[in-house]
Structure 1
Amino acid sequence: MIESARLRFQPDDEPLFAEDLVNLDQEWVESVRPDFICPTPSCDARVVAVLTRTPPRRRTPHFRNHDGVIHQDDCVYAAGRVDIHADGGEAVDPDTGLSTYASRLGRRTVRTVTTPDTAAGPLGPGSNGHRQRTRGPGSSHVDYERRRTVYTIRPLCRAFIDNVYQREHMIIDVPEITTTSSYLYAFKRLWRYDGQLEPRVRIFYGELRYRDRAEETDETTTVWLHAGTRENRYNLVIDHADWTAGEVRAMRRDLHTALAEAEDCVRGDTYEKTWAFFIGRQDTDRPATFHITDSTRICFITATIEHPQRVRPIR
C-alpha cells in the first residue's frame, strides 16, 4: 500500500499523506488528481488517490498504481516476485537484485534525493560493519544492503501477517531491535499481564479495544487494547506534541477507521480482528502502559493473524 505521494509540479516538496486529502478542499483535490506521482524521489510513476471508505470493510485512504504503470527498478514500490528460501531468505527480484518484501526500516530525508549507494537507513555505506544479530540455528551472513527499505512499520507488519510460514527465514532490520533479525522473533503479541517489564524491544501488537474510546488531547492520544487484566489493561499513550499537524491527522484518521473496523468485526462475528502494532517505551512504574513518540512506529491493521504450530524435530 502506498501511503503518500508527491505532486508532479512540486516533486521536491514533502509527500502528501492520503489521509490528509480526505479533509482538504475537495475542489483542489480533484484538480490535482492527475498529478500525483510515486513518493520515491527517483521514480515518477503515476499513482491514483483512493479515498473512499465504505463499511463494513473500510480501507485506510491510500494511493494505488495507475493502470499499466511501471516503477523505476530502484523504487521500493517496484513490482517483483516474492520467493522466500529456507536458507535465510534471499527473496530477490531476479531483474533488480532487490528484496521483494519489506525488510528494512529507514527514515525519509525531506528534500534529499537518495540513490541505492546513499540510501538512508540504520546500516548504510560508511558503517564499520553490520550488527551481529542472529536468526537462530544455521544463520549465515546477510547482505543487509540488498534488503527492501520502507519508512513506517506498516509494510513490515503487513509482511508479518501475509507470510505465515516464511517468518522464521525472512529478514527484518529495525534500528530499535538489536537482538534478532528474524521476522518470527521481532514481533510479540501483548496478551496476559504479569507486571513484568519486557526484556527486549519488539514490534509489539495487541487487539484494539473499541468499547473504550480513545482519549484525545492536544498533546497525547490514549488507546486501549484487548489485553491484560481488568485492573491492568494494556494501553498506548501516543505523545504527538512534537508531530506535525499532518502526522497527527494521519494517525487519528487511521485510529478512528480502525475503531470502526474493530466494531464491525465484533458485530459481524468474523475471524478478523483489528490490531495495534507499535514500537514504544514501556512505563517502568506502570508496565501496562507503553509510550509512543514516533509517528512511523505505530499503525492499525485489520486482519487475521495466523500462528502455525511449530514442529520440533525428533532427536
Structure 2
Amino acid sequence: MDTARDTRTLDLVECEELWTMETVDRNGFICRGCTTQVFPASFDKEHNKKRPYFTLGPSNKHQAGCDIDGEDKIIKRAKKERVGTPEGFPLPFPSKLILTDKRPVEAKDLVTQGLSGSTRTSSTSDKNAATPRKYHGHSVKNIRPACRAFIQLPNDRDFLPLEIPGVAGNTYAKIFTYLRSKKPEPFKFPTRLYYAAIRWVARPLITEEYCELTLNAGEWSQETGGYKTLCKVRVNWASWSKVRRNTLLREFTTTREEAIEQAKRNKQIKGWIFFVGTQDPADPSIFHIDNYQLICCLSAELIWPSKK
C-alpha cells in the first residue's frame, strides 16, 4: 500500500512521507479504507534502498466492506477500458490540489458521513452495503497522488476532473503535459504540470541554490541518433530544509533504480519525473520549480490510449 492514515488525525500519509519523519511510529497507521492497523516498511533511510510502503503484516486482514480489497482488480481493468461513469468513479481519486500544510477537509467529512477511517462501517441495516461506492474526487496537498492516478487510469484521463492552482485545464488529460523528444518551443501557457522520463545516465547537478535534474526529452538528431539539447528541471531549493532536499534526491535515485530493475522484466517501464513548473522565458529547455509539493518521481509503464 502506498497510502495509509495517521491514527491520531486520520490524515492521509503517503509512503514517501516516511522519509521526512524524524521518528516513525510503527503503530501509528491504519488502512485508508478501514480501521485495520497497517505497518510502515522499508523506511529506514540509512539501510533501506527500496521505496517505503505500508503492509498489513502476516496476520491482519482488511475489514468487511473495505474498498481496498478490490482496488487492484479495478486498476488492472482500467488499463484496458474506462471505469468511471457519469454517476461517479469506483476508486477515490484526487480532483483538487490545495497548497497548504493543513490536511484536506475530506478526511473529517468522510468520518461524519458514517465512514470509519474513510470506509463504510458495516451494518446489516445498510441497504447500500453491497452497492459499490461512487467517488467524485477529493483534495490533496501535493501532486503525487494525482500522478499515481494519471498512471493507473489512462482511459479515464479525458473525463476525470482535476484542478491545480495556476495551471490551465480542468481534466487530467488537459492538465498533464508530456515533454517529448523534439526541439523545446515556448508554450502559450508556460506554467503546467509537466512529465518526462528520467535521463538514467545523468546525475543531479547540486548547488546550495538549486538542484538540476536532466530529463530524457529535448531536441533529437536523426543524423547522430542522439539529443542535440536536453530539457532540465531546475529545483530552486534555497529555502528548503535539509530533510526536504535529501528526500527529493532519495526519491529521484530510488525511482531511477526501481525503473532500471523493473525494466529487466518489462521494457516499457521507465522512471518518470512529474512537476508543476514554469518554462524559462529565455531558454525553453529549462523549467523552474520552487515548491516541494509540486514535484515527484515514480517508476511505471505509461499507457497512452489511442484517440478514437
TM-score (norm 1): 0.67
Given residue 182 of structure 1, which amino acid in structure 2 is its aligned partner? T
Partner of 2:296: 299
Deviation at 1:79, TM superposition (A): 7.8
Counterparts of 1:68-217 in structure 2 under 5 Å?
Answer: 68=61, 88=86, 90-91=88-89, 100-110=92-102, 115-116=108-109, 146-178=136-168, 180-200=169-189, 201-217=191-207
CA distance in 1, matches of 2:87, 2:176: 18
Query: Would the aligned equivalents of 2:214 and 2:232 in 1 still touch at CA under 8 Å?
Result: yes
Deviation at 1:109, TM superposition (A): 3.0
CA distance in 2, matches of 1:19, 1:272: 24
Partner of 2:125: none
Partner of 1:19: 19
Query: Would the aligned equivalents of 1:275 and 1:301 in 2 still touch at CA under 8 Å?
Result: yes
Given residue 19 of structure 1, which amino acid in structure 2 is its aligned partner? W
Partner of 1:237: 234
CA distance in 2, matches of 1:171, 1:12: 25
Question: Secondary structure of 2:232's partner?
Answer: strand
Query: CA deviation digits over 1:233-283, x for unaligned, max 9?
Result: 101111111123332222111011122234435666722111111111111
Query: CA deviation digits over 1:35-94, x for unaligned, max 9?
Result: 322599xx97643112179xxxx7521334673456xx9xxx9888779667657226xx
CA distance in 2, matches of 1:50, 1:256: 18
Identity %: 23
Unaligned runs of 5+ in 1: 93-98, 118-144
CA distance in 2, matches of 1:210, 1:85: 34
Deviates more, 1:195-204 or 1:265-274: 265-274
Deviation at 1:177, TM superposition (A): 2.0
CA distance in 2, matches of 1:266, 1:87: 33
Deviation at 1:193, TM superposition (A): 3.6
Question: Secondary structure of 2:19's partner?
Answer: helix
CA distance in 1, matches of 2:286, 2:157: 28
The 1:246/1:199 distance shift into structure 2, 3 A limit, reads same
Query: CA deviation digits over 1:195-216, x for unaligned, max 9?
Result: 4212223321111001111112
Deviation at 1:7, TM superposition (A): 7.4
TM-score (norm 2): 0.68
Query: Would the aligned equivalents of 1:193 and 1:232 in 2 still touch at CA under 8 Å?
Result: no
CA distance in 1, matches of 2:265, 2:150: 25
Given residue 290 of structure 1, which amino acid in structure 2 is its aligned partner? F
Given residue 229 of structure 2, which amino acid in structure 1 is its aligned partner? N
Deviation at 1:161, TM superposition (A): 1.2
Deviation at 1:187, TM superposition (A): 1.1
The 1:198/1:79 distance shift into structure 2, 3 A limit, reads farther
Give the CA RMSD over aligned residues: 3.9
CA distance in 2, matches of 1:299, 1:112: 19
CA distance in 2, matches of 1:106, 1:112: 8
Deviates more, 1:164-173 or 1:78-87: 78-87
Question: Secondary structure of 2:154's partner?
Answer: coil
Question: Secondary structure of 2:162's partner?
Answer: coil
CA distance in 1, matches of 2:4, 2:247: 11
- 2:245 matches 1:254: no
Question: Secondary structure of 2:147's partner?
Answer: helix
Question: Secondary structure of 1:301's partner?
Answer: strand
Query: Would the aligned equivalents of 1:4 and 1:62 in 2 still touch at CA under 8 Å?
Result: no
Partner of 1:275: 272
Query: Would the aligned equivalents of 1:172 and 1:183 in 2 still touch at CA under 8 Å?
Result: yes
CA distance in 1, matches of 2:281, 2:108: 41
